[in-house]
Structure 1
Amino acid sequence: APHNLTLPSLELRMKTAIALASVMGNVLVVVVVCVNRALRDTTFSFIVSLAVADIAVGVLVIPLAIIISLGFSTQFYTCLFLSCLLLIITQSSILSLLAIAIDRYLRVKIPTRYSIIVTQGRAYVAVCLCWILSFLTGLVPMIGWNNRDAQGNFSISSEIICEFTTVMRMDYMVYFNFFGWVVVPLTIMIVLYGEIFRVIRRQLNRRAEATCDADRYYQKELKLAKSLALVVFLFAVCWLPIHIMNCINFFCPKCYVPKFALYTGIFMSHVNSALNPMVYAFRIKRFRVTLIQITRRCMLCKAAEPTPCPSSTPALTEKVDVNL
């Protein structure tokens, strides 16, 4: 009996800790971008969008996952809508990552025309489109692609035990959600980052013997591209296990997937939301400096040290590149 009580209690504490870390870390991401004008460029607009999605994971998804795990009774479409929220937030994350990859690709592919083509206004429009598309794809089960028919004859007011697999069809999760809206965007991102690194390496090799503004530009682009590629890698590592297990259950109904593995996959998907702020803090210097200044000023009651500004800006370098 004590063992049975300890495991749910430990799981609850771990999920609560992840939710708090996700909310606090990603709120700091938004604050850092708002405080530091040098970070208010198109790329960080998408990073803020990603941070908002991760905040929603901590505020909505994890608490809902805890509630659903308790097996409460509710109406079918209420449970379905709560399950769709997870899909919406996940989809907004991966579309934000795709937008970041496209942005960085354009930045190294057409550096001289980048600021003309990719304006801040267009970046905001792209962020809105990411969220609109996320809502449209995530709410598809609400218009019919769900497990309502599998429940037999029951009225809309009838109550069920709310579980994700009870209301969500696995063919939707595998074919539409995973293959269509996870595998395809991830593949595009891998191709884009591969091309980004190829272009940067080629440009650096051409100027290996010279030190100029273009060298500084591509060196900074290479460093930031590595950091953002790491974010994509962590997303794939954290989310692919649960999707792969869904595929196993769908294509091989007789195959047994241990519940421990399933819970671990769900747990990893939640952990992902708390990882991105750490990547930014450890990998992006300007972000880290601003975060330290905020910590000193707000938590240690010390005045923030002024950040030295460069006297000149390289011809090909945007203001964010000078400071990263």
Structure 2
Amino acid sequence: MTAEDSPPSSYIGMEVVIALASVLGNVMVVWAVKINRSLRDTTFYFVVSLALADVAVGAFVIPLAIIISTGLKTHFYSCLMVACILLVLTQSSILALLAIAIDRYLRVKIPLSYKRVVTPKRAGTAVVACWLVALIVGLTPMFGWNNLQNFPTNDSQQPNPIITCKFEEVISMKYMVYFNFFIWVLPPLVFMLIIYVEIFYIIHKQLNHSLNKAISQTDPSRYYGKELKLAKSLALVLFFFAISWLPLHILNCITLFSPTPKTKNIIYVAILLTHGNSAVNPVIYAFRIKKFRTAFVKIWAQFVCCKKVKLSARKATRRKECSERKMREISDI
């Protein structure tokens, strides 16, 4: 590998920073859900699933991407497996975002029967289903839709030649564009956009009109106000996911339909955007969702600054949470 082919040190440095931020931030998200009972809501089953995928990106995908960028020579299927792991994690993130959008839609569309319809068991089943679909979609190249036929082989190497490992060398652009992007990325993003538009429409309609007497005693303006705030936060997560991943998919389309040489800097920026998305979500939660922010502060104070959390404060928090549950017929976040 020549010096010109080597990635700039600034790129590697930014990848390292993103990896650390992804792991630490998303571990705190999972931790926050564990220690805060009010965050143990069906929606946050999917948030935790999304966070675990982002932890894996920071802990495994980014380090492997750095190694690959240095021109690592390995067997074709070893390189292909690394590429497929990234595809699986990306697809699981998309499906988790889709599940979150559907969950929030049901929450505002059928508030009275939401708890009966969306049970923890069903939410857990949905999480498992998302990961199974992600595995099928992401591992499809392992079963033949790849670029193995582009490499000359001999009897000693067949059917697994040693190559310089690069994503575009092993993954077919037809798979990435026709199957991955046009079927499993773009339609879910468009569908989620439609869902959030409908969510905001329902919330604003309910805030501007009198509600059913059956839920009037639960202070509907407060309920839908909280739903609006959370919906905005989760829509922001979707927005950043879209702007982080669409540039790379657009580059893939250009590669397939108009294979002109692309500058390496553009490719590096597109890759950094996709990896950086894994570090963004905890920041959004911290600034936009109060209960996450409170949990993050508690974790930081107790386990980083080594400050003891007073037992009385914990008891007061529990009493407050219990009182809130008794006052609400419909759970709110």
Compute the TM-score of the two structures, normalised by the length of structure 1.
Answer: 0.93
Structure 2 Cα separation of the partners of residues 5 and 167 of structure 1:
18
The residue type paired with residue 143 of structure 1 is F
Residue 303 of structure 1 and its aligned partner are, at CA, apart by: 2.8
Residue 296 of structure 1 and its aligned partner are, at CA, apart by: 1.3
The residue type paired with residue 222 of structure 1 is L
Q: Identity of counterpart residues, as a percentage?
A: 53
Q: Deviation digits for residues 118-170 of structure 1, max 9, x if unmatched?
A: 00011111001111110111010011101111213441243111111111110
- Determine whether 1:181 maps to 2:184: yes
Q: Deviation digits for residues 16-50 of structure 1, max 9, x if unmatched?
A: 11101100000000000000111111100000000
Structure 2 Cα separation of the partners of residues 38 and 8 of structure 1:
45
Q: Which residue of 1 aligns with 2:253?
A: 247
Aligned residues: 316
Q: Deviation digits for residues 252-277 of structure 1, max 9, x if unmatched?
A: 12x34322111100010000000000
Residue 293 of structure 1 and its aligned partner are, at CA, apart by: 1.3
Q: Which residue of 2 aligns with 1:142?
A: 142
Structure 2 Cα separation of the partners of residues 312 and 161 of structure 1:
59
1:290 to 295, 307, 311: 295
The residue type paired with residue 240 of structure 1 is L
Does the Cα contact within 8 Å between 1:75 and 1:156 map onto a contact in 2?
no
Taking the TM superposition and a 5 Å limit, the aligned residue runs for 1:147-296 are 147-154=147-154, 155-207=158-210, 213-253=219-259, 255-296=260-301
Residue 11 of structure 1 and its aligned partner are, at CA, apart by: 1.8
Q: Which residue of 2 aligns with 1:317?
A: 330
Does the Cα contact within 8 Å between 2:153 and 2:159 map onto a contact in 1?
no
Q: Deviation digits for residues 276-315 of structure 1, max 9, x if unmatched?
A: 0000000000111111112111122223343343634454
Compute the TM-score of the two structures, normalised by the length of structure 2.
Answer: 0.90
Q: Which residue of 1 aligns with 2:39?
A: 39
Does the Cα contact within 8 Å between 2:77 and 2:160 map onto a contact in 1?
no
Distance 1:5-1:108 versus aligned 2 partners, 3 A rule: same
Structure 2 Cα separation of the partners of residues 298 and 76 of structure 1:
44
Residue 74 of structure 1 and its aligned partner are, at CA, apart by: 1.1
Distance 1:6-1:87 versus aligned 2 partners, 3 A rule: closer
Does the Cα contact within 8 Å between 1:207 and 1:215 map onto a contact in 2?
no
Residue 215 of structure 1 and its aligned partner are, at CA, apart by: 1.2
Structure 1 Cα separation of the partners of residues 60 and 249 of structure 2:
21
**How much is the aligned-residue C-alpha RMSD, in angstroms?**
2.0
In structure 1, stretches of 5+ residues that fail to align are: none
Q: Which residue of 2 aligns with 1:300?
A: 305
Residue 191 of structure 1 and its aligned partner are, at CA, apart by: 0.5
- Secondary structure, counterpart of 2:308 in structure 1: coil
Distance 1:123-1:201 versus aligned 2 partners, 3 A rule: same
Greater CA drift, 153-162 or 218-227: 153-162
Taking the TM superposition and a 5 Å limit, the aligned residue runs for 1:81-160 are 81-154=81-154, 155-160=158-163
Does the Cα contact within 8 Å between 2:76 and 2:161 map onto a contact in 1?
yes
